[in-house]
Structure 1
């Protein structure tokens, strides 16, 4: 499987992750994005031996869109620090059930992940294992009982967007884990990593990439094009 390359130089590789493929090896044993990209680099550049590719952040298996990887250890270290300092701007598109009362808002929750069940829950702020999760959303348009949202992450917690939007009362279309009461088995989750804005870890130049969701239901209810990029 060929992954669209959004940006590449000696230090960075930004790609469009396909849906339903794990970012790295997991218990499923399925082919993962990291392995695929390493093999692709090995072939394209005829590199002998092992290829270095640093994983900087993750996307849930069913989610597609823009991801950044580091091709050198120096870039990996600096990108990881940027993720910790929350200076990489990550924006997503999401199609949710219903119409949020507020056109735009900031959601703040405390989340706890049950690793044995791979489920994240909203917990009280005083919960000993609760981690603060913040995102900003804007309703771009509503149609047929659903809304297209632009979401910007302020923190990077597991399943964060899915859990927070569900806690708001508007689960994402197709998300069986956090919206089982409204979604059907087999539906594809309508969450897409739309853009990444970051400072190049070595060159210190701005790097901006965009990825658009597939023109399939429910995405094709809207004109998601250049005008939505910023």
Structure 2
């Protein structure tokens, strides 16, 4: 894992521009995650003895890039977790897709069901067992080399939600083999990027707006902020 890209930092929180392919937290692969690297960064920067506290507030899928926030104190972890649980966090994404969206802007409402064995989610009927409501808003930005840039505002946070819902309207995300795109990105990432997170600071009680540029990889070339 390369050097971390810190995009926000104070005594309570730290936010990273995660690269596609990096793990948000440990999983069954037992690969290193961002948590270990951020702890080392904090330990070295502030010359902290002993173990460093770092709380995982939310996650991004391994192939997804963009803003991810961690808590540096237990108080911040408890309060930020509640903000996410109560849907009081605004998360915006960019996606580069192969199919033009049906409208310039729209609202997608589906019910999703997760298959834990395949680590994949599917569109389900309302009322189906274990199906959860998934909502998002999208806006078509522009065409980029025969692909289409879409901005997304996530209203719920379901497993693989954006990937499933976009594929369902014929807008498969570039590099996302799991949901129907034909070829992988060179670094095995997908062109889905959490570009901004907005929330009220859990301690200071002021609005915090954290943004991150899209990755500098060939698939994103031509997109603003590259």
- Determine if the TM-score, normalized by the shorter chain, exceeds 0.5: yes
Unmatched tracts of structure 2, length 5 or more: none
Matched, 1:198 2:206: no
Q: For residues 184 and 46 of structure 2, what CA distance do their matches in structure 1 show?
A: 44
RMSD of aligned alpha carbons:
1.6
Q: Give the TM-score of the pair, scaled to structure 1.
A: 0.92
Q: For residues 103 and 142 of structure 2, what CA distance do their matches in structure 1 show?
A: 12
Q: Give a deviation string over 1:159-186, Cα, whole Å, max 9, x none.
A: 1111110011111011000024x33475
- Secondary structure, in 3 states, of the residue corresponding to 1:26? coil
Q: For residues 25 and 51 of structure 2, what CA distance do their matches in structure 1 show?
A: 16
Q: Give a deviation string over 1:10-62, Cα, whole Å, max 9, x none.
A: 11111111220111111212111111111211222222222111111110101
Which residue pairs with 1:85 in the alignment? Answer: 86
Which residue pairs with 2:160 in the alignment? Answer: 159
Q: How does 1:22-37 map to 2 (within 5 A)?
A: 22-37=23-38
Q: Give a deviation string over 1:75-111, Cα, whole Å, max 9, x none.
A: 1111111101111111111001121120011111111
Q: For residues 123 and 198 of structure 2, what CA distance do their matches in structure 1 show?
A: 28
Q: How does 1:43-82 map to 2 (within 5 A)?
A: 43-82=44-83
Q: How does 1:1-230 map to 2 (within 5 A)?
A: 1-180=2-181, 182-184=182-184, 186=186, 188-222=189-223, 224-225=224-225
CA distance 1:184–1:46, change in 2 (3 Å):
closer
Q: Give the TM-score of the pair, scaled to structure 2.
A: 0.93
- Secondary structure, in 3 states, of the residue corresponding to 1:77? helix
- Secondary structure, in 3 states, of the residue corresponding to 2:61? coil
Unmatched tracts of structure 1, length 5 or more: none
4+ aligned runs moved over 2 Å, structure 1:
182-188, 214-218
